Every structure is written in structure tokens, then in C-alpha cells.
Amino acid sequence: VKPMTPRCTVPKAVPVGKSAALHCHENEGFPKSTYSWYRNSEPLSPDAKSNAKSHNSSYTLNPATGTLIFHAVHKGDTGRYSCIATNDAGFAKCEEQEMEV
């Protein structure tokens, strides 16, 4: 079963240096969906250290739960975030939401 449009929760504004949690979830898809996050339409690597673009970011992305946690945000984390739920039957994307740091 193809995933439904996931529900995405993105904080509107986060003070520099604070942590932020972004959530993405849908429960119609079977098999269970995995989740990927995008900032300004660029995919966020599940491993912050391996991505040159996000080498300043410290975040943890859990593809199984759809949770993206920034440990200490900085100005570069400002942007439009969206999430895609994917399984063997297809994928679905939530609306982009702005997060300001």
C-alpha cells in the first residue's frame, strides 16, 4: 500500500544553539515507510558527518521513525523543510515548512 501524505511537524523559529525536533509520520503505507528529509529541496544525508553541505550541522535523522533532531541549530539550518515517506509501493511528500533560526 502506497504511503499517505505524511504529517510533518517543523518548528517555526528556533533560537541559535538550541535543539529542534522535526517529525514526519504516516501510518497507511505497507510495508512500513522509511522517511527522508529535505532542506530547500536538497536531501539531508542520514549521517550529518558524511555530507559536505551539512558539515556544520549536528543532527540525527532516524529514517525508521521520521524524526530529525538538531542538537544545536545555527543560521545555516534556516530553510524550507519537507519529508518524503517511501515504501515498496511508492512515496508521498508533505508540504514544505519554513524553519527560521
Give the residue, 54 or 82, on which the prediction is more confident.
Answer: 82
- Taking only the tens place, the pLDDT of each residue in 8-67 is 999 999 999 999 999 999 999 999 999 999 999 999 987 766 655 555 668 999 999 999
Asked if residue 21 belongs to a domain, the reply is: yes
Q: Domain range for residue 67? A: 7-99
Q: How far apart are the C-alpha atoms of 68 and 70, rounded to whole Å?
A: 7
Q: What stretches of the chain adopt beta strand conformation (E)?
A: 7-9, 20-25, 34-39, 42-43, 59-62, 67-70, 79-87, 90-93, 97-99
What is the pTM assigned to this prediction? 0.90
Number of structural domains in the chain: 1
Specify the pLDDT at position 91. Answer: 98
Asked if residue 1 belongs to a domain, the reply is: no
What's 86's domain CATH number?
A: 2.60.40.10
